[in-house]
């Protein structure tokens, strides 16, 4: 996977395009490409004291978000799916495409809202995603365990004492003539002979 570095540059009175041009000329030998991200340059932070507190909160949030993303990355790798993709505006795109076409989401993080409020919203979103991934991972492991147990019940020489007949008597092993159908039949008993695991005898009680 490619490595990306995000730089915040203050060009003063210089335009954004001019700053980007200078940056490209200075770092082009150290990277493949330099792209500009659609990030607003006039974000509200309130008072100076609010800005100082925000700097501490940003550093703490950065570590938490990094930890969540790394954990999700490990989980995806363990599931054998290292192809990371991002859902953006109902479209699934690659990480590279997301970086190249990044646009600030004014719906989720309005430019005219204070940074502290946007940070709170971001933290809440990351926590929700983290809990959702944990729940889905648990469900996946539960289903995987059930499938493993079912495969053990179907193995050669396996005792059928605790097996569920719906898992054993599948269309793949049961033929149309294996069951006798009559009117006024009370419960039907199906017996499996252990010596002939593939042969099924079906008895009906009248």
Three-state secondary structure of 152-192: HHCCCCCCCCCCCHHHHCCCCCCCHHHCCCCCCCCCEEEEE
Look at the block and give the residue holding tokens 């938490």. 64
Q: Residues 112-149: pLDDT tens digits?
A: 899 899 999 999 999 998 999 889 888 888 888 888 77
Q: Where are the domains of the chain?
A: 1-36, 41-153, 165-204
Q: Residues 71-91: pLDDT tens digits?
A: 888 887 877 766 778 888 788
Q: What is the pTM of this model?
A: 0.61
> What integer pLDDT is reported at residue 163 of this predicted model?
63
The CA distance from 69 to 75, in Å, is: 10
Q: Spelled out in words, what is the top-level CATH class assigned to the domain 41-153?
A: mainly alpha
> What integer pLDDT is reported at residue 123 of this predicted model?
92
Look at the block and give the residue holding tokens 């499938």. 147
Largest CA distance in the chain: 96
């Amino acid at each position: 996977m490619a490595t990306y570095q995000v730089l915040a540059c203050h060009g003063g009175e210089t335009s954004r395009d001019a700053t980007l041009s200078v940056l490209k000329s200075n770092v082009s030998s150290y990277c493949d490409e330099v792209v500009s991200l659609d990030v607003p340059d006039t974000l509200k932070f309130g008072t100076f004291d609010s800005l100082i507190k925000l700097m501490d909160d940003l550093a703490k949030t950065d570590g938490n978000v990094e930890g969540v993303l790394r954990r999700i990355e490990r989980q995806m790798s363990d599931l054998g799916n290292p192809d990371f993709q991002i859902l953006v505006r109902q479209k699934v795109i690659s990480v590279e495409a997301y970086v190249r076409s990044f646009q600030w989401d004014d719906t989720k993080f309005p430019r005219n809202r204070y940074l502290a409020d946007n940070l709170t919203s971001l933290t809440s979103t990351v926590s929700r995603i983290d809990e959702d991934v944990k729940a889905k991972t648990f469900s996946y492991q539960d289903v995987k365990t059930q499938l493993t147990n079912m495969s053990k019940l179907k193995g050669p020489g396996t005792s059928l004492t605790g097996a569920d007949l719906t898992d054993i008597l599948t269309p793949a092993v049961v033929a149309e003539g294996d069951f006798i159908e009559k009117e006024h039949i009370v419960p039907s008993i199906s017996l499996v002979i252990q010596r002939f695991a593939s042969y099924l005898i079906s008895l009906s009680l009248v």
